[in-house]
Structure 1
Amino acid sequence: MLFTISLLPITDYRLPIPDSRFPIPDSRFPIPDSRFPIPDSRFPFIKNLSNLKLVKKTLDRLLKLIQSISLAILIVSVSVLPVFAQDVSNRDLPMVSTADDSQLELTKFHDIEEFSDNFFVNQITENNLTGAVFTLVKDDKIIFSKGYGYANLEDKIPVIPNKTLFRVGSVSKLVTSTAVMQLVEQGKLKLNQDINQYLKEFKIKTDQFKPITVDHLLTHTDGFDVAWVIGGATRCQSKLLSLEKFIRENLPERVRPPGELYVYGDVGLALAGYLVEVVAGIPFSEYIDQTILQPLDMSQSSFQQPLPSQLAANLAVGYQYKNGNYIKQPFTCNKSVPTTALTTTAEDMAHFMIAHLQGGRYGTQRILNDTTVKEMHRQHYTNFPNIPQAAGSTYGFFERFVNNQRIIEHGGSMSGYTNLVFLIPEQKLGFYIAYNRNSLNENLRDDLVQQFLDRYYPVQETIASPTEIITKAIPEAIPEANIPQQYKQQYKQINGGYRFIRYPRKYLVKLAIVLLESGRLFTIKTNQDHTLTIFPGRSKWEEVEPLLFRATDSNMYINFRPDSQGKITGMSMSSHVHLTYEKLPWYETLVLQLGLVVFCVIIFLW
């Protein structure tokens, strides 16, 4: 039976380390007082039997004290055992390396194993993780690959990078986007073509908004409502709906013009995957296997659900950590296959990353032309077109800048698993990480990115910092006298509450937003000096252009969106493309909505 022991550092007990030079003070033995002379060795201290008894009694007390301290130290030592296994300490944590690292000493990554070991062992022991894997690629090679912890806690099966499979969740969207770009390259799909030209079994309504294109699907700007599909995953007890039927029956309404806003979701990429199926004339997973997985020698990867038996045997068990226990998560079949269904190993995913870093080539095989890869990787949408190093969206990847490095990446989470694909195209470098535990704090992945870049790609003094780059393009704070009158009224409208834009608008689940999503709400207050204060946190922002503000303590920007009548409807942040918010009307503020709920409950119970 799995049990856990609380993790408490030794320093928490404040126990002194015994030193023969410094006896440990004990309240039972008073410290000598200068008013009373210490017995002199020139005079015999032990003069009679009573003195011998006193010495024996004193030695007994000292022995008991030493035993007590030793027991306390033993207890503390036991308490630092990692909580993920019964009998595993840090030195027993399984770590399996599979990459050829013979050339590492000749590169800047000569100490990558030390870096990786320190990071992942600390993460596992401090965050109640079960297992993890880290694989680093540079140019056309895997230069480091190592597994940590357990793929299966109960059977003590370690994570092995070229053998252990992980379910990657939304990282699947990268493979789907790559498949779409293959068909674009072949001229079978056009990026700016109305997708209704390809759909046969159903059509997208265009009576209210303009047509949706492939470009909109790949950049999450399709304008569909967010769809949280009830029953989107099943226990695989019956045959899954066809991709066409699943999409047709669950296609949400259109709620905004396509191309207007980035709202991350599954609908657009599920539709993109369906277009692959329609245009290619074969099932989606079969197309992926033939044109991506096989050419890239990803023999341990599949979109099939349930997995083929030879792959299922090596699947890491997914866990949820709750109340000190690790709960096995069942294997679920996800109906939105193109957006969530890929299962793979770290080293198979390394082959995929190498292909993207090498212009579509892996070994002697090619899945895309170099020009197509460049088109896929470039920025296609951003909320800040005039701000250098503002986050954006490529075709499939998120884009952002850290330490002056342009990163394209995509994370994935699902029941029992958390993943990240991270690429720096200009450096021909990337890494993949995976954990077999869900509900992980996003900061864990971000911490690895930041620590990795700080160590291997620190900001150089000879290179212009993001602040210097941005301030060359954006003027300093605008004096009050220079602010146009038309913006002064809009400035006053900024005051109020804002809510994260990613939520359903046409479904009953919207009610849960009010009760459960209070953490996605914040308030903005305008100040007389044309600065803003954002609560909670009390961060301060100064205006550098009408409706464009810069943080006073960082390189982050926010801008505000007016509608056609000039009314402020929302805002965005420059650090991540998905950080888009809408301004709440007075009747949707949290206080009023909760007040109405309480009022209705009181009336109902009266």
Structure 2
Amino acid sequence: MHKMTRNLSLATLLLSSTIFTACSAQDPTTTPNNAVSQPTTKVSAKGPQDSKEIEAFIDPVFAEKMKKYNVNGSNFVVVKDGKVLVNKGYGYADKEKKTLVDKDTVFQIASVSKTFTALAALQLAEKGKIDLKHDITEYLGGMKVPNKTNKPLTMYDMLTYTAGFDYPDKSLITGPEYVNQVIPMKEFMTEHMPTVVRTPGEAYTYDNFAFLLAGYAVETVSGIPFPQYMEKNVFKPLGMNSTNSRFTPELLARMATHYGADGAPHPAIGVAPTDGPQGSILSTGEDMAKYLIMFQQQGTFDGKEIVSKKTIEQMQTYSVFADKSIPMTTVGGFEGYRNDLMNGHHVVLKGGNMPGHQSLVVLLPEKNTAFYMSYNNDTMMSLEVLEAFMNHYFPDERTSKKSTYIPLSASDATKYVGSYQNTRFYALKSNFTYADGNLLMETGTSGKHTLKMVNSLLFEDESGNKLAFKKDHKDQIEYFYYTNPNSLDFGSDSRKVHAKPAFADVPNDSIYKTYIDNLHSFDVISAKSGNLFEPRGTMTQGEFMDVALLANGWHIFNDTLADNKAMIESGVPGFDRNAPITRQIAAVMIQILKQAKPATDIKLTGDTDSWAVDAITALVSQGIIDPDTKVKADGSVDFRSKQPLLRQEASALLDLAFGYYALPIKNK
């Protein structure tokens, strides 16, 4: 479960590398609680075997990573061959009260909850109550799911992140106010129902709503509320007595304090709906160890069968691939992102993020090894722990192979070139062009890349990162998946953006046509009436704010949309939705969302209010400027700040600010 925070991009949230150094050697934050490290022993070729050796290896890892990421407290569990080798805490559950993390400290495991929801759905499938390949509406008690495709949505699609919803994060609503509220699933979903717009099974999109809907199907088919089903059929049989899908007074009393990346504490975060199959479960190291044991014992625990061996295999076996070399998801909520950290081994993992809490489960089925960790901030420390663990116990033993490439002709390149938009992160756009036998790619968080063709659907960039194109049900190139760890593209597939019919009143030779057409194709701005765009028409402040939020792309997250609206309304002096918008107000709105950094010295001439100067100069210096506004050789420019903003000018500014991929943009 991922939540955006104000003024923090998702790139920063997922790829943060904050450095923290203010800890002494005796601080529990840097040493294990109630444990002393032992000298390192020889590592077995079979992976972790000895508790003391594991601790001697992992203690310094946590010391380093917790300092680096400013983490106050974490737990860590290692299970091998059905036995717990390590279950310990590091640092503080509550730094202010000096409460240490231990095996009974409660954390919100967030999206790790999805694997439990999948387990419940697969239990019902074993009993013949759910057919994974049948229309999901059969199991929803009359609830309808809007579907614009010709293929029914199934439980299988939802459990493999291939449901095809347009807004997969509509169920992503979190906040302190939800800790003590009870919001039923049916009521919530009826109000926040997205639409299936991609053929189910066709594209991978990380999907919170799909797992919420899967949990509702569990509730409907079983005839008992979701939390009661989980308690009766999953938690209690596993002896997970400190695990629940909702807050209880007892669990709240033992829950680790939530901290931001800056180390400041903040209130516990609740979810809506209250019982969130997509991410509301709370648990402990002690309980999660039992969950891992069940996987290693082929679905049984303490002599009881929780699910069959076949189901356990299904949950740990990849069924969706971007390419045969790029595993994506299992039928069970587990994923294969950051395949570069797996060293060629069969690994399935599931991470979870809640503001102030982060979790990770890692399973190596063929090695009968697993680990779990949670900690009390929402940085990505867990991936560096995973990397250290894999390099230590399961290094890459593959023989390095040099890729061979096939020249790409200009005619063949036409099926790949064009613009694409990420199917989850609408703010992430990519563009492909052709030159000299290769594809050239520009993408939002990692810039420009040269892609060489390995085969007709697989390419590699200059660093060896793989990019796989995918075909749709019409056998046309429609999607791509990119493994670059420095990009956000690995979060979901991206889909090709197709041009829409041109507006009748925008001439082909208009210097604004490309910008207008681009925004139209991304569904950001549409006709004013009929097929007329009215390029020289004006806009109100409210109209421009609405299209700016769409162009920005983070409107897909409810919390972020509310935050961005509030920032715009408070950042524009005298904001009035119905008042005409001027060019300087538009610049301020864009800069609030873009946060562009000044790149060159700009000297504003003409009349500009003082509150707009910084925004305008920052945008102009980065090349975010309409084509009728010229920057002179000495860096001076008249932005015509107090003139009304025309619709064609709005299109240029928004397309340059949010549709392009690398700044600064060179002015032609």
- TM-score, with length taken from structure 2: 0.65
The structure number with the bigger radius of gyration is 1
Question: Is the contact made by 1:94 and 1:158 (CA closer than 8 Å) also made in structure 2?
Answer: no
Which of 442, 451, 473 is the aligned partner of 2:388?
451
Q: Which residue of the other structure, out of 353, 372, 389, is the alignment partner of 2:292?
A: 353
In the alignment, the residues of structure 2 paired with residue 537 and residue 125 of structure 1 have an alpha-carbon distance, to the nearest angstrom, of 30
Q: 1:577 to 1:272 in 2, by over 3 A?
A: farther
CA 1:290–1:479 in structure 2 vs 1: closer, same or farther (change >3 Å)?
A: same
SS of the equivalent of 1:302 reads coil
Q: Provide the aligned length of Structure 1 versus Structure 2.
A: 483
Report what 1:115 is aligned to: 57
Q: Which amino acid aligns with 2:267?
A: Q
Q: Paired residue for 1:200, among 141, 157, 163?
A: 141
Q: Give ranges in structure 2 of 5+ residues lacking alignment.
A: 1-19, 500-513, 526-543, 552-579, 586-641, 644-668
Query: How far did residue 523 of structure 1 move?
Result: 4.1
Q: Could you tell me how far 1:152 is from its partner in structure 2?
A: 0.5
Correspondence for 2:362: 422
CA distance in 1, matches of 2:305, 2:33: 30
Instruction: Give a deviation string over 1:356-375, Cα, whole Å, max 9, x none.
Output: 12210123222011112112
Deviation at residue 579 of structure 1 after TM alignment: 3.7
Aligned counterparts, 1:593-604, within 5 A = 601-602=582-583
Structure 1 range deviating more: 171-180 or 106-115 = 106-115
Equivalent residue in structure 1 for 2:352, among 412, 424, 427: 412
Compute the displacement of 1:254 (Å).
2.1
CA 1:428–1:231: 2 relative to 1, 3 Å: closer
Query: 3-state DSSP class of the match of 1:268?
Result: helix
Matches of 2:171 and 2:298, distance apart in 1 = 36
Is the contact between residue 130 and residue 436 of structure 1 (CA under 8 Å) also seen in structure 2? yes
Residue 226 of structure 2 corresponds to 284
Contact 2:439 2:450 in 1 (8 A): yes
Name the counterpart of 2:658.
none
Of 552-561 and 368-377, the range deviating more from structure 2: 552-561
**Structure 1 residues 479 and 121: alpha-carbon distance in aligned structure 2, compared to 1, 3 A threshold:** closer
Query: Does the aligned pair in 1 maintain the 2:29–2:63 contact within 8 Å?
Result: no
Inter-partner Cα distance in structure 1 for 2:277 and 2:149: 28
Confirm or deny: 8 A CA contact 2:457 2:469 kept in the other structure. yes
After TM superposition, list the pairs within 5 Å mapping 1:282-361 onto structure 2.
282-304=224-246, 306-307=247-248, 309-322=249-262, 326-335=264-273, 337-361=276-300
Give 1:405 deviation, angstroms.
0.6
Cα deviation, 1:208-266, whole Å, max 9, x if unaligned, reads 43211110111111111223358555624764222222222211122222111111121
Matched, 1:366 2:305: yes
Equivalent position of 2:422 in the other structure: 500
The residue that corresponds to 2:115 in the other structure is 174
1:181-216 per-residue CA deviation (whole Å, 9 max, x = no partner) reads: 111111111111111222224222456432111101
CA distance in 2, matches of 1:216, 1:248: 20
Displacement, 1:388? 3.3
SS of residue paired to 2:411: helix
Q: Which moved more, 1:420-429 or 1:326-335?
A: 326-335
2:70 matched to 1:132?
Answer: no
Q: Give CA-to-partner distance per residue, 1:486-545, whole Å, 9 cap, x none.
A: xx4351464454432214xxxxxxxxx5xxx4xx34444422123545564544321122
SS at match of 2:261: strand
Query: What CA distance in whole angstroms lies between the structure 2 residues aligned with 1:219 and 1:556?
Result: 21
- Percentage identity across paired residues of the two chains: 26
> How well do the aligned residues superpose, as a CA RMSD in angstroms?
3.5
Aligned to 1:269: 211
Aligned residue for 1:573? 482
Once the 2 structures are TM-superposed, how far is the Cα of residue 399 of structure 1 from its aligned partner? 2.7
CA distance in 1, matches of 2:584, 2:391: 58
Equivalent residues in 2 for 1:202-217, closer than 5 Å: 202-206=143-147, 208-217=149-158
Q: Secondary structure at the match of 2:390?
A: helix
Answer yes or no: is the 8 Å Cα contact 2:172–2:208 preserved in 1: no
Q: Distance in 1 between matches of 2:179 and 2:351?
A: 28
Determine the structure 1 residue equivalent to 2:597: none
Counterpart for residue 411 of structure 2: 489
Deviation by residue 1:57-108 (Cα, 9 ceiling, x = unmatched): xxxxxxxxxxxxxxxxxxxxxx9532xxxx8854774622589x9xx99955
Q: Judging changes above 3 Å, is the alpha-carbon distance between structure 1 residues 91 and 133 closer, same or farther for their aligned structure 2 residues?
A: closer
Shift of 1:389: 4.8
Q: Is the contact between residue 262 and residue 577 of structure 1 (CA under 8 Å) also seen in structure 2? A: no
Residue-by-residue CA offset, 1:418-441 (whole Å, 9 max, x unaligned):
110110111111101111112x1x
- Which residue of structure 2 lines up, in the alignment, with residue 260 of structure 1? 202
Question: Which residue identity is paired with 1:295?
Answer: P
Structure 2 partner of 1:380: 319
Q: CA deviation at 1:126?
A: 2.1
Letter in 2 for 1:183: L
Q: 1:303 to 1:371 in 2, by over 3 A?
A: same
